[in-house]
Amino acid sequence: MCVTGIVALAYFLVFLPKRRQSQQRNILKSLEIVMSLKELLILIQQHRGLTTGFLHGDAQLERSIGNKRASIDEKWKALDAASNELESDMLYTSIKSHWERLATGWQRQTVANNIDQHSRLITNLLYLIENQAENYGPMLRLGRDSGLDVIWKELLETIEAIGQTRAIGMGVVSAGESSVIERIQLKFLVDKVKHRVAALESSFTKKTSLMGNKKWASLFLNDAQLHVEQLLSFVESMLLNNDLKSVTSETFFDLASSAITPLDKLFIEAEEKIKDHLKISPMLN
């Protein structure tokens, strides 16, 4: 066998498998970071809703807020321990610094400013998640090849639209009435959530995938659609009409959160599908 042949054989038998293993490890690590950032996103969205209710007068939410803050702080610690690269990411450190200020200062904010500060932080966190999912070329291509890159943007934007509805709604329920501005905001968010959910379903339907059957996604999407319809019906019939005598903050928070839960589960399942796809994928250049 000539030297060229030996080199080529060594490349295919030794170097290429090692390179593929390294690539797989990097993708799995990126997926873990994205999952942790998504979990942080969900927690901060919940903190926004709870603090809005508190600032509108529901003091009984204080313990839940404290517990939520503790969970968020633990998630930050876990992220710091899991990835040295994140600590050198300016967007990550900026978001973390913003949270540290917000966590100790939200009670001194107006209701509107509290929502705004949380929402700004969440918007930046959405950018960070998208960046983390797409800044490593092989992972980006894997997501596109599987048709599941939709979870890193469209899916999380849908969750955020519902989260915004929960935050405004918590303020209305806690106050026992809605202002003109809040009713305008809720009407806008009802339309926004409907649009996001429809667009998300369309994306999952139209995305070309090497994975074939996507009935598993339909199960989560159908469940989400059911709970979203219940939430929006409640907003339109109760909150927008100031029919709030029998409504508690806890009841509304749980109702809104139940619309997010199936989408959160869809994200988790989709990442598992991406991992399965990774096992059978060739080297991603």
Q: What is the pLDDT along the chain (285 residues), one digit of tens a residue?
A: 555 554 444 444 445 456 666 777 778 888 899 999 999 999 999 999 999 999 999 999 999 999 999 999 999 999 998 877 788 889 999 999 999 999 999 999 999 999 999 999 999 999 999 988 887 777 777 777 777 788 889 999 999 999 999 999 999 999 999 999 999 999 999 999 999 999 999 888 776 444 555 677 888 999 999 999 999 999 999 999 988 888 899 999 999 999 999 999 999 998 888 888 776 565 555
Q: What is the pLDDT of residue 30?
A: 84
pLDDT at 115 (0 to 100): 97
What pLDDT shows up at residue 165? 98
| CB atoms closer than 10 angstroms to residue 26 | 13
- Please say whether the beta carbons of 38 and 269 come within 8 A: no
Radius of gyration of the chain (CA): 22
Read off the pTM: 0.89
Res 226: pLDDT: 97
Query: Distance of CA 204 to CAs 46, 107, 191, 281, Å?
Result: 26, 40, 20, 21
> First vs last Cα of the chain: how many Å apart?
29
What pLDDT was estimated at residue 125? 97
Q: For the chain, which residues make up each domain, given as ranges?
A: 28-280
The full DSSP string for 55-99 is HTT-GGGHHHHHHHHHHHHHHHHHHHHH-HHHHT-HHHHHHHHHH
Q: How far is the C-alpha of 126 from the C-alpha of 37, rounded, in Å?
A: 9
Instruction: Say how far apart CA 256 and CA 227 lie, in whole Å.
Output: 8
Specify the pLDDT at position 11.
45
CB 200 within 8 A of CB 261: no
Tokens found for residue 162: 């519902």
